[in-house]
Chain A
């Protein structure tokens, strides 16, 4: 393994992660603002972003704490939002499972939606890459994303409520997730899975936060796999 290959993989990842700055920064600022408005002090807001480093669940926790939910409910619900991370972990395991425990711990700590989505797309496009190249690519994607999450959270917490609502920062997260989704809709099976995910998640929106999403995701994965099998049989006929 030459170091130039590793360097190339790292910088390719860096370039692929760079666009997410545009949404990570507003999203992080918004979390800082939301946490401060909910009454958390600076250390507590930064504690969330550094120790949890998972935007959607951080927002869920702060939202529930604003509603004075019991501690155990705050924990269960916000962790349920992160259950998808176990699926990300399983999906990255065939590519990164052979790495050292230390490397896998770093991969796990930095496993945000954007890093996962970029990495799995890259590994599936070029599965023959070495483990070191795959890790370098992952580190590259995380570099423009994860440290900026801390910095922008800090900026939001310090700026407080000075940012006007007209900036619609609340919609930075949905736009990020949707922007990752478009390029991932590669086949009819992917589109079918996405449609089932939307339908079930909306139908089960009355369930406690995170639970409906989990059921929707399992139903959608089953749909994608089944449609793929049907299409493969149709093509073989």
Chain B
């Protein structure tokens, strides 16, 4: 890797490893026996639907593989994945539907 010494590369890996572990351990480790208040639970209920869409949206609109250029095949695959997941309530079905749409789309529109 140009510009990085092995020491710098391993510093990145080890600090990321320790930092990530403590982010994951944080609240679990501090948790008391008392349940969290109702308002906190109300917020936490929306954690997955608050994080996953924001994580994915830029990857769908500006895909890395195309250097950020809009790609209809990837957008269609994303829409199909969501639609199958909502209708079937089944993650595997959604993954298979999304991959099928992606490969069909790439084959048809390139």
Contact = CB atoms under 8 A, between A and B. Distances in A.
A173 B59 contact: yes
Interface in A52-99: 52-54, 56-57, 61, 63, 65, 68, 71, 74-75, 78-79, 82-94, 96-98
A177 B56 contact: yes
A165 interface: yes
A37 to B, nearest CB: 10
A219 B78 CA distance: 23
Contacts of B39: 225
Contact of B42 (A168, A184, A196, A225): A225
Interface string B68-110: 0000001001100111111111111011101100110010000
Contacts of A193: 46, 49-50
A132 interface: no
Contact of B10 (A44, A83, A178): A44
Nearest to B19: A79
B23 A197 contact: no
A20 B94 CA distance: 11
Given A40-B1, A51-B17, A182-B94, A201 B58 contact: yes
Contact of A82 (B23, B50, B88): B23
Nearest to A189: B46
A91 B36 CA distance: 9
B78 to A, nearest CB: 6
Contact of A89 (B28, B78, B99): B28
Interface string A190-234: 110111111011100100000011001111111111001100000
Nearest to A103: B28
A108 B60 contact: no
A181 B101 CA distance: 17
A60 to B, nearest CB: 10
Contacts of B77: 171, 175
Interface of A: 19-20, 22-23, 38-40, 44, 47-48, 51-54, 56-57, 61, 63, 65, 68, 71, 74-75, 78-79, 82-94, 96-98, 101, 104-105, 107-109, 111, 113, 116-117, 120, 124, 165-166, 168, 170-171, 173-185, 189-191, 193-198, 200-202, 205, 212-213, 216-225, 228-229
Interface residues of B, number: 81
Nearest to A166: B106
Given A52-B13, A202-B57, A224 B49 contact: yes
Interface of B: 1-4, 6, 8-17, 19-21, 23-33, 35-36, 39-65, 74, 77-78, 81-92, 94-96, 98-99, 102-103, 106
B54 A79 contact: no
A180 B84 CA distance: 11
Given A68-B2, A84-B51, A221-B43, A96 B16 contact: no
- Listed from nearest, the 7 A-B pairs whose CB atoms lie closest are A182-B85, A97-B31, A224-B46, A51-B17, A201-B54, A19-B92, A220-B50
B55 A177 contact: yes
Contact of A88 (B21, B47, B84): B47
A213 B26 contact: no
